Structure 1
Amino acid sequence: HSHSLSPPPPSPMAAPSAAMRKKLQRKFRLRGFTLKVDALEEAAAFLARFPDAEDEALDLLLDELDKEPLKSSILDRDAVRRVVSLLVEAEEAVDAASPSATSVQSALRVVDSFVVPRFHYDPIKKVFYEHTGRLALHGEAGDKAALYRDRYQVLLQRLARDKYFSKPAFESVMTENESCEITSIQSLVGCTGRRWIMGVISQLEERQFYLEDLTGAVPIDLANAKITSGFFVENTVIVAEGELLSSGIFQVCCPP
C-alpha cells in the first residue's frame, strides 16, 4: 500500500472510546494480532493524529506491523510504538521535503521538555554524557547556578574547537597575533599584553560591570572599546579582547 498522511498537530492523549476499542480489536484480529490494553491505547493515539483518515492510517499501521519480525502475535505497547515511531518519522521526512513544508503546521512543533534527552559536558574528559537521573519539576537552590555553569561550559568547548581559539600544536603554525586562545580570569593575574577572555556580563556592584567565568570575576572598563553592532545584556556570555591594568580592571579593546 502507498499512503500519504498529513496529520494535524496531535491533541492531548485521551482514552479511546468503546467504539474505537471495538474497531481496533476487530481489525487487528483480522490480521492475526491480539492487542494488549497498552498496545490498544498506543494504536488509538496514533489514529487520533488523523481524524479525517483513520481507516487509511489503520491500514498503514497494520501493513507495517505485518513486515515486522514479531516474536508473538500478542502485541504490547513497545511493539506498536516502534512501528508508530517509524511511520511518524517517515511522514515528517516527507513533509520536510515537500514544497508545502513552509506551512505553519510543519514549521512549528511542540516537544515535551521532559522527553528531550539532557546532556552534560565533562570538561575533564571533554565528552558529553546523558543525564540519566530523574528530572524534577521544581528545581533546587543550586540548579540555577548549574544552568549557567553548563551553558558556559558548552559554549567554551565549542569555541575551543574553532581554529582561531585553539592552541596550535606547534608555535610556528600560528603567530601570537593570530592565536586567540582563551585565558581564564584567574590566570590574568601576572599576565601582560592583550588577552582574550570569555565570561558572563554581570553587575556585582552598582554601575560597575564585571566579566565572570568559572574561576573568578574581573571588573571591566569599556571606555576605549570599539563600538560595533550588537545588543549585550547582563547574563550574556561574551568573548572580549583586552588587557588587565595594574588597578585590577580589565580594559576592553575589542567588543564581544
Structure 2
Amino acid sequence: MHSLIYKVFTRKYSLSLQADSLLYLSDVIKQNEMTQTDAAKWLELLADTWAKREEGRPLVELAPLKALVAAVVSGTSNGLVGAGDASKPGSDLFTVIDAFDVPAWWYDPGKKMFTQPFTEGDILSSAESKAALFRQRYDLLRQRVLRNDNFMPVSFSDQEKDRFYKLSTIDSLQGREGEHFLIFGMLSQLEEGKMFLEDKAGSIELDFSHMSKSVNGLFTESCFVLIDGYVEDGVLKVEEIGLPPPESREKSRAAFPNINFFGGQPSLRTDVQLRAIEV
C-alpha cells in the first residue's frame, strides 16, 4: 500500500508524508480491509481535503492527519464514516467569507507559483496599486495561456502535434518588420483616437484596417487579447485578434492543487457528494 499512498499524495498532490504518517495510513487501510480500489478512492479524498484545508503546508504530519481522518467521509464501503454524510445536508454546505478574509494570492512568474504579499491591502490604495493590478492580471492570464495545449512546445512523445503557437513580447519586434508575430497584451488608448497593445516590455500602436476576417468577442480598453500580425513603420498591422483561451476548473486545480483561492474552510464533502445534494 505504500506505493499507492505515495502515488496519490506525492505524485498527484505534491504532498510529502512523514514516516509515521505513511505507516498510519497503511495501518488504517489494512485494519479496514480495503480493496485497492476503495483505498485509492479514500486516499484521493484525504489528499484532496488536505490540499484544500492546509494550503501552504505540503508536509503531512501525523497529528493533523489523524484529525482529518476522523472527520472525513471515506467514501468506501468498509465503515470508515465521519462527519459530512451526503444524505443529510447540514450547515457546512454554506460559508460566508468576509471580503477582507479572502487570501491575497499573487502569481510570481519567476517562481511559477502563487505567493502572498507581505503587506495587507487597504480600501484606499496607493497610485502604484493600479499598475500592479494590471501587471498581475497580465501574469495570471499569460501563465494560463502558456499552459494551453496549443501553446506548449512539441515533445518527442507527441507525434501527432506538428506545431504550436509561440508568444512574442513587444520589445522583440524591433528591427523585424514584415515578420509575423503572435503577441499577448492589454488594449489601451495611450493617445486619443489611437489604440495600443501593452505588455510588461513595452507598447506598440495598432492598425486594425488589415484584419482578414471577422472575429467573435467583446474587446474593450484594458482587455487582454492575443493579436496576430506584422510590423510596418513601427505599427502593428493586426490580421487576427482573439481572447485568451479558457481553462477548465479541473485543469486549473490540477495546476495548483494546494491553493485555496477563496479562503475559509472548504467542505469535507467530495464534488460528487455536493452535486448529489444540489440535485
TM-score scaled by structure 1?
0.54
| Aligned residue runs from structure 1 range 166-181, under 5 A | 166-168=152-154, 175=162, 178-181=163-166
The corresponding residue for 1:210 is 196
Contact 2:215/2:240 (8 A) holds in 1? no
Q: Which of 131, 138, 152 in structure 2 is aligned with 1:152?
A: 138
Equivalent-residue separation in structure 1 for 2:175 and 2:149 (angstroms): 26
Q: Which residue of 2 aligns with 1:221?
A: 207
Which has the higher Rg, Structure 1 or Structure 2?
1
Higher RCO structure, 1 or 2 (CA under 8 Å, sep 6+):
2
Stretches of structure 1 that go unaligned for 5 or more consecutive residues are: 1-81, 99-105
Q: Which secondary structure state, in structure 1, belongs to the residue aligned with residue 132 of structure 2?
A: helix
- Residue 100 of structure 2 corresponds to which residue in structure 1? 114
Task: Report the counterpart of residue 238 of structure 1 in structure 2.
Answer: 225
1:2-151 counterparts in 2 under 5 A? 111-151=97-137
Instruction: Find the aligned partners of 2:86 and 2:137 in 1 and give their Cα distance.
Output: 34
Does 2:167 match 1:182?
yes
Mapped partners of 1:210, 1:110: distance in 2: 41
Identity of aligned residues (%): 32
Unaligned runs of 5+ in 2: 1-66, 72-82, 243-279
Does the CA contact (< 8 Å) of 1:164 and 1:181 recur in 2? no
Counterpart of 2:106, as a letter, is H
- Aligned match of 1:5: none
Is contact 1:211–1:220 with CA below 8 Å preserved after alignment?
Answer: yes
Q: Aligned to 2:171, what secondary structure does the other structure show? A: helix
Over residues 8-38 of structure 1, what are the superposed CA-to-partner deviations in whole Å (9 max), with x where a residue is unaligned? Answer: xxxxxxxxxxxxxxxxxxxxxxxxxxxxxxx
CA deviations 1:207-250 (Å, max 9, x no partner) are 110000000000111112122221110000001111111x1110
Secondary structure of the corresponding residue to residue 149 of structure 2? coil
Shift of 1:130: 2.1
Following TM superposition, by how much is the alpha carbon of 1:167 offset from its aligned partner in structure 2, in angstroms?
A: 3.4
Post-superposition shift, 1:110? 5.6
State how far apart, in whole Å, the 1-side matches of 2:120 and 2:223 are.
Answer: 29
> Partner amino acid for 1:186?
D
Deviation at 1:200, TM superposition (A): 0.6
| C-alpha RMSD of matched pairs (Å) | 3.1
Checking the alignment, whether the CA contact within 8 Å between 1:227 and 1:255 is kept in structure 2 is no
CA offsets per residue over residues 46-92 of structure 1, 9 Å max, x none? xxxxxxxxxxxxxxxxxxxxxxxxxxxxxxxxxxxx9xxx8xxx77x
Amino acid across the alignment from 1:254:
E
Instruction: Count residues with an aligned counterpart.
Output: 157
Matched letter for residue 194 of structure 2: Q
Deviations 1:81-115 (A, max 9, x none): x9xxx8xxx77x959x97xxxxxxx8x97632211
Contact 2:184–2:199 under 8 Å retained in 1:
yes
Query: Could you tell me how far apart the structure 2 residues matched to 1:205 and 1:136 are?
Result: 31
Distance (Å, rounded) in 1 between the aligned partners of 2:95 and 2:241: 36
